[in-house]
Structure 1
Amino acid sequence: MPEMQFLVQWPDGHEQSCYSPSLVMHDYLEPGTEYEVAEFVKRTSEALTVASDRVLAKFGMRCTSAAQQMEEIHDVGAGYTSGVVRVLRMSGAELL
């Protein structure tokens, strides 16, 4: 199953490298696009849930890395009351 990395920049300029066990993230985020924090958290949560479901269907268990990444995004997102998250880069299996 192809996996991917995506690099985002939070409203304060902090960059975070994120992981998805599936390329489905391309259906939810666009490189170079800015999303309101709440919208970004919503989109990534939906995408990581779909990705984890795909892992479950293929391997019989959910992806704990997707769950951890979703939790990290929720935690960071909770620290902002406003602002935008910019998707800097998205790539396949290679590291950012």
Structure 2
Amino acid sequence: MPETFWTVRWPDGAEERLYSPSSVVTELFEAGQSYPVPDFLARARTAMERASGRVERKYGFACSAAMDQLGRIEARVAGLPDQKGKVACLEISQ
């Protein structure tokens, strides 16, 4: 369950490095692809929920880091002035 980082560019041009305790993000995101904001958010929710679930199955407790990251993603999306823009996945690394 290698922790994974992925870098995104938000519709406003800002770049951010995101965290997952699991490589599950590679199942939902691809470097070089862009996702409409609602699709990105749905994929991020799925990824963080799956990552937390994997941690729970292995260690017996949910992953608060995954849920914290999801909260930061949701807050960032809520603050975007353009909900119709796209989020670019720039890089995924383990």
Q: Structure 2-normalised TM-score? A: 0.95
Corresponding pairs, count: 92
State the 1:40 CA deviation: 0.3
State the 1:89 CA deviation: 0.4
State the 1:78 CA deviation: 1.1
1:60 aligns with 2:60: yes
Which whole-Å CA distance do the structure 2 matches of 1:33 and 1:78 have between them?
A: 21
Question: Could you say what the CA RMSD is over the residues aligned between the two structures, in angstroms?
Answer: 0.7
Percent of pairs with identical residues: 40
Runs of 4+ displaced beyond 4 Å = none
2:87 to 82, 85, 88: 85
- SS at 1:23's partner residue? coil
What amino acid maps onto 1:8 in structure 2?
A: V
Unaligned runs of 5+ in 2: none
What amino acid maps onto 2:92 in structure 1?
A: M
- SS at 1:2's partner residue? coil
Q: Structure 1-normalised TM-score? A: 0.93
1:2-47 per-position Cα deviation (integer Å, ceiling 9, x unaligned)? 1100000000101111000100101100100000011001001101
State the 1:79 CA deviation: 1.9
Which whole-Å CA distance do the structure 2 matches of 1:41 and 1:79 have between them?
A: 13
What amino acid maps onto 2:71 in structure 1?
A: E
- SS at 2:24's partner residue? helix
